[in-house]
Each structure stands twice: as C-alpha cells, then as structure tokens.
C-alpha cells in the first residue's frame, strides 16, 4: 500500500497515526482483460488508483462507444463522476489489459474526510487537478486538427499505441477507425 501513501502525500502530508487510519481502508482488486470495473447504470461505490494495467472509460449510446480516456500509471480509475455524485453511472470502465487496482469504498472515504481534515483537502486537490486536465483536453478538441491531436497523444503517451486497440484511440481522438487508419498511414 506504499503506492497509496505516496499518491496521497504528493498532495498532503499525513502523520503516522493518520496513515494508520487511512491505510486499512484500501484494498487490492484484480481484473482480467476485458472485465468491467464500473458499469453504466450502477452507482459507483469505489474510487481506484491504478497499480498496473490499462483501462478505458467510455460512454455508450445507440451502440456507439465514445472513449473518454484511459487510466494507467498511478492515475485514477473508475467512474469518478458517478462516485462523487452517487448517481447511476453514465460511463463504463473496462480493463484493456489484466489490471490491479487499489480501491476505497465511498463510505470509508467520507469517514476519512470527516476525521482527517488533510484528507478533505486531498479530495479537493485531486478534483482540482482533474478539472484542469479536462480543460486541457477540451481546448485540444476545439482547436487542434485531428492529425495534431494524434501527434500530441503520441508524444504524451507513446506506449499507449502498443497497449490499447487503435479503434479506442480513434474514438478517444473523435474519429472513426477508418479515418484514423488513413491518418496513420499518411503521418507515420
């Protein structure tokens, strides 16, 4: 669980007694390739940090899948939107590779928020960071042509191309697999 403490302490410092209270709340969860971590329509009760593996989050509508993002490294995973709002989720989160996540139940997190002010602050800082990432992505969607978005993604996460199906990257970049395929052969 060092991963968790490191993750949290990138934002706020915890005393040892505080950590003693935080630590037992986190549990490890394993998912096989293709397995779902969050299901659309269900209220998400856990938030996760990725230990290893890659997951995709997507929205499904009329049989079309719209990929909103990937999780890997030590980032967040799970349907954070449903988790904070405690409303039926509008996204699916699926393991694209065999994955190990470390998760906390909402009820436990709320208790930590009440008992440890640093954790409340940590919650704020995490969401503030999330919102900045969303803004960056929205700007890129608005202003960059498809090819440039692809180049930036390649630069930012070169390994992603090896890890996830191209159709998901195409969807994430807001284009069809056909267009993406043509773009790649053109750019390469």
Partner DNA sequence: GAGGTCGCTTGATCTGGGTCAAGAACGCTT
Partner DNA sequence: AAGCGTTCTTGACCCAGATCAAGCGACCTC
User: What residue ranges bind a copy of itself (CB under 8 A)?
Assistant: 59, 61-62, 64, 66, 68, 80-81, 84-85, 90, 113, 117, 120-121, 123-124, 127-128, 130-132, 134-135, 138-139, 142-143
Query: Smaller CB distance to a copy of itself: residue 51 or 172?
Result: 172
Residue the block writes with tokens 């230990």: 51
Task: State yes or no: residue 177 binds DNA (CB under 7 A).
Answer: yes
The only residue of 3, 146, 154, 160 in contact with DNA, by rule CB under 7 A: 146
Residue 81: name its binding partner from a copy of itself, DNA, none (Cβ under 5 to 8 Å by kind): a copy of itself
Task: State yes or no: residue 174 binds DNA (CB under 7 A).
Answer: yes
Cα Rg of the chain (Å, integer):
18
CA distance 188 to 58: 27
Query: Smaller CB distance to a copy of itself: residue 25 or 69?
Result: 69
Query: Smaller CB distance to a copy of itself: residue 136 or 166?
Result: 136
Stretch that binds DNA, among 4-12, 35-43, 132-140, 169-177 (CB under 7 A): 169-177
Task: State yes or no: residue 180 binds DNA (CB under 7 A).
Answer: yes
**Residue 144 neighbours by CB under 8 Å, 6+ apart:** 152
- Closest approach, Cβ 81 to a copy of itself, in A, equals 4
Query: Smaller CB distance to a copy of itself: residue 33 or 121?
Result: 121
CA distance 59 to 66: 5
| Burial classification of residue 82, based on how many CB atoms lie within 10 Å of its CB (0-12 exposed, 13-18 middle, 19 or more buried) | buried
Task: State yes or no: residue 184 binds DNA (CB under 7 A).
Answer: yes
CB 60 within 8 A of CB 173: no
Closest CA to 42 of 101, 86, 107: 86
**Residue 72 neighbours by CB under 8 Å, 6+ apart:** 50, 53, 54, 55, 160, 163
Binding site residues, DNA, CB under 7 A? 145-146, 165-167, 174-182, 184-185
């Amino acid at each position: 669980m060092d991963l968790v403490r490191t993750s949290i302490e990138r934002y706020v410092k915890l005393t040892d007694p505080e950590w003693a209270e935080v630590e037992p709340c986190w549990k490890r969860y394993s998912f096989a390739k293709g397995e779902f971590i969050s299901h659309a329509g269900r209220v998400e009760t856990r938030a996760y940090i990725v230990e290893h593996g890659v997951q995709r989050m997507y929205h499904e509508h009329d049989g079309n899948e719209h990929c909103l993002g990937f999780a890997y490294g030590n980032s967040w995973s799970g349907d954070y939107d449903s988790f904070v709002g405690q409303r039926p989720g509008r996204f699916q989160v699926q393991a694209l590779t065999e994955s190990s996540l470390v998760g906390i139940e909402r009820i436990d997190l709320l208790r930590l928020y009440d008992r440890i002010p640093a954790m409340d602050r940590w919650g704020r800082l995490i969401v503030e960071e999330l919102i900045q990432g969303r803004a960056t992505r929205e700007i890129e969607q608005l202003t960059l042509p498809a090819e440039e978005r692809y180049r930036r993604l390649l630069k930012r996460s070169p390994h992603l191309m090896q890890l996830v199906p191209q159709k998901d990257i195409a969807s994430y970049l807001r284009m069809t697999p056909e267009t993406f395929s043509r773009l790649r052969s053109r750019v390469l």
